[in-house]
Amino acid sequence: MKVAEAMRTHPEILRPIFVSGHNQLTVQNMMSLFDTVFSPLGSNARRAENLTLMFWRDWLIEADGSRPISLQNILTFVSGVDLIPPLGFPERPQIEFLHAPLENGSRRRYPEANTCSVVMRLPIHETFEEFQEYMESGIIQSPTFGFEYRFKTAFLAVFPRTKVFMKEAC
């Protein structure tokens, strides 16, 4: 059988055979994809995490069409792939929160991700607008899974406050 050769010469024709089960990425399946790692109930950290999780969900809804970033961009940032694999990820993706300050004492403003374990670390912000700005800026400027120049240029024109953020290697 010349399956490997056929895959190389006609990848789009054979793609449905090997990646069947992919559904269109939706806000609902993005929301249900992740387990959330919370601080103890009743703590100040937990209160900030609840607000941040609300921002995350609202932002996903907006990212589904009205923002310069897409659900696929978000999934690529956190996992390295733009579709949920048919059999899922080897480990359940997680959301963690960035409470610890940077070495210089300033707070972490940008999202961080570990694509090996599929962990999204969300920054804590006081307002939805600030959360949205730093999430989009951080993901668009991702050094490993950066997006096209036109997205960066358009985004920088709207959100001039941009800094380097972290993305863990495996």
116 has catalytic annotation = yes
Give the Cα separation of 106 and 123 in Å (integer): 12
Give the Cα separation of 47 and 23 in Å (integer): 34
The helix/strand/coil state of 11 is: helix
Q: What residues form DSSP beta bridges with 112?
A: 121
Please answer whether residues 111 and 77 qualify as being in contact, where contact means their C-beta atoms are separated by less than 8 angstroms: yes
Catalytic residue among 19, 116, 154, 158: 116
Q: Which residues contact 23 (CB under 8 A, 6 or more apart)?
A: 29, 84
Degrees, nearest 5: CA angle 96-101-103: 125
Give the Cα separation of 138 and 73 in Å (integer): 11
**Residues noted as catalytic:** 116
